[in-house]
Amino acid sequence: MFERFAKETRATVERATEIAESEHATLVQSDHLLLALVDPPRDSVGRTLAEAGLTAERIREARDREFRSALASVGVDTGRPTPPPSPRVRRGRTTRFAPSAKLALERALKVCVERGDRRISNRHVLTAIVGAEVGATPALLDELGTTAQEVDRLAGSG
């Protein structure tokens, strides 16, 4: 699958892995992919997002707010920052992908095919990440004061 990735997109996946490892997460999740696009911004997609206020710092803050709001809905109150996802048993050094990240990359391929593009780009990956209709992503976008459609529009303008 990675053979259809543009060079920029392979760099995003590598960066996402670095970010996940720096956060002591044993699995790379879709939020790490999103952060990888803007931490640091390496292309027009990353720059457009950052200029629109979707910086790495704001994404992390929004992730923390989403975490606290999810807990608040069941009566739990904590000021702690978002911990890494529940650790799995470590098998060797290579960090593996959570379903959210795998699904994002699979959807990115679909988006690429639908648009008739040859290579999977960071634009496709971004559309795929924010296109998640379940899980924490819709709430994360909400906390960022945006929507999947708005992010798509931004990515298109970059």
Partner 1 sequence: MVRTAVDNLEPNDAFRAISALRALADDLEGEYVMRALGKGWSWAQIAEALDISRQAVQKKHRHRINAAK
Residues found near partner 1 in the complex (CB under 8 A): 66-67, 70-71, 73-76, 78, 80, 82-87, 89-90, 134-136, 138-139
Residue 29 to residue 67: CA distance in whole angstroms:
15
Least distance (Å) between residue 78 CB and partner 1:
7
Indicate the SS3 state at residue 27: strand
Nearest to 101 by CA among 4, 3, 26, 24: 26
> Which helix H or strand E contains 30, and what residues bound it?
helix 30-38
116 vs 134, beta carbon nearer partner 1: 134
7 vs 74, beta carbon nearer partner 1: 74
Least distance (Å) between residue 53 CB and partner 1:
23
Least distance (Å) between residue 70 CB and partner 1:
4
78 vs 147, beta carbon nearer partner 1: 78
Point out which residues pair with 41 in neighbouring strands: 38
Nearest to 5 by CA among 153, 117, 157: 117
Least distance (Å) between residue 34 CB and partner 1:
17
2 vs 74, beta carbon nearer partner 1: 74
C-alpha 24, offset from chain centre: 16
